[in-house]
């Protein structure tokens, strides 16, 4: 296993439409998935798509840590998961703003509108079908990672650039607002 180098915004690999994976069980794909899981955990991040490690293939890994899950039944903790050749279907018209970061856009985060509910489907390296409905943070992570496979980065989804900033500044502003609210 290995920690992989992560492409940063501006590198053309992040703007490509990725190619389907011909054989999800091939040894090189299994190795790539294992390395991507390790790279995601090391970063640390909650998702990583193949183009972010310079492989323009339709696969991504993700997880939902316990601390990010909400009370919704489709927004529960998810272990490290790979989705190969995935599809994502938006369910309903409801959209919500939520904060997102990206390992290819270090130190920044933004509020991005996403569908509240989705259904996703893909296979793992053993060809097992993974099909789930997701909401909230779980749905957001999957939509963000899926976008990478079509060359879309979260700033391209933004509607209000006031909610875009450096983590350090946003954390400071949040702490100041909380202190003011408590005094
Ligand atoms: Ni990303």
Residue 43 neighbours by CB under 8 Å, 6+ apart: 6, 103
Q: Is 109 helix (H, G, I), strand (E, B) or coil?
A: strand
pLDDT number for residue 6? 98
Span from the CA of 105 to the centroid of ligand 1 (angstroms): 8
Give the pLDDT band (50/70/90) at residue 182.
confident
Q: What pLDDT digit, counting tens, does each position of 109-121 carry? A: 999 999 999 999 9
Select which of 38, 93, 145, 169 is catalytic: 145
Please answer whether residues 14 and 51 qualify as being in contact, where contact means their C-beta atoms are separated by less than 8 angstroms: yes
The answer to pTM > 0.75 is: yes
Residue 162 neighbours by CB under 8 Å, 6+ apart: none
pLDDT number for residue 133? 97
Nearest in space to 147 (alpha carbons), one of 15, 11, 12: 15
pLDDT number for residue 72? 87
Instruction: Look up 145 and say whether it is catalytic.
Output: yes
Give the pLDDT band (50/70/90) at residue 71.
confident
Q: Taking residues 64-77, what's their average pLDDT? A: 88
Span from the CA of 145 to the centroid of ligand 1 (angstroms): 6
Give the pLDDT band (50/70/90) at residue 46.
very high
Give the pLDDT band (50/70/90) at residue 1.
confident
Span from the CA of 129 to the centroid of ligand 1 (angstroms): 24
Predicted confidence (pLDDT) at residue 11 exceeds the cutoff of 90: yes
64 vs 1, more confident: 64
Q: What pLDDT digit, counting tens, does each position of 145-160 carry? A: 999 999 999 999 999 9
Span from the CA of 48 to the centroid of ligand 1 (angstroms): 6
Span from the CA of 23 to the centroid of ligand 1 (angstroms): 24
Predicted confidence (pLDDT) at residue 91 exceeds the cutoff of 80: yes
Q: Taking residues 87-91, what's their average pLDDT? A: 98
Cα–Cα distance measured from residue 131 to residue 120, given in angstroms and rounded to the nearest whole number = 6
Phi and psi at residue 137, to the nearest 5°: -65, -40
- Residue-averaged pLDDT of the chain: 96
């Amino acid at each position: 296993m290995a920690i992989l180098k992560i492409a940063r915004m501006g590198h053309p690999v992040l703007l490509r439409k990725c190619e389907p994976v011909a054989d999800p069980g091939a040894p090189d794909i299994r190795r790539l998935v294992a390395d991507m899981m390790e790279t995601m955990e090391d970063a640390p991040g909650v998702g990583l798509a193949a183009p972010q490690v310079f492989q323009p293939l339709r696969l991504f890994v993700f997880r939902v840590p316990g601390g990010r899950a909400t009370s919704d039944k489709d927004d529960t903790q998810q272990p490290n998961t790979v989705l190969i050749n995935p599809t994502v279907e938006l369910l309903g018209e409801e959209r919500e703003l939520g904060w997102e970061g990206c390992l290819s856009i270090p130190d920044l985060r933004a509020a991005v509108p996403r569908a509240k509910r989705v259904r996703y489907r893909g296979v793992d390296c053993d060809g097992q079908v993974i099909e789930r409905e997701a909401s909230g943070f779980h749905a957001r992570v999957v939509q963000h990672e899926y976008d990478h496979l079509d060359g879309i980065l979260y700033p391209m989804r933004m509607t209000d650039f006031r909610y875009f900033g450096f983590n350090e500044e946003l954390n400071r502003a949040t702490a100041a607002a909380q202190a003011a609210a408590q005094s």
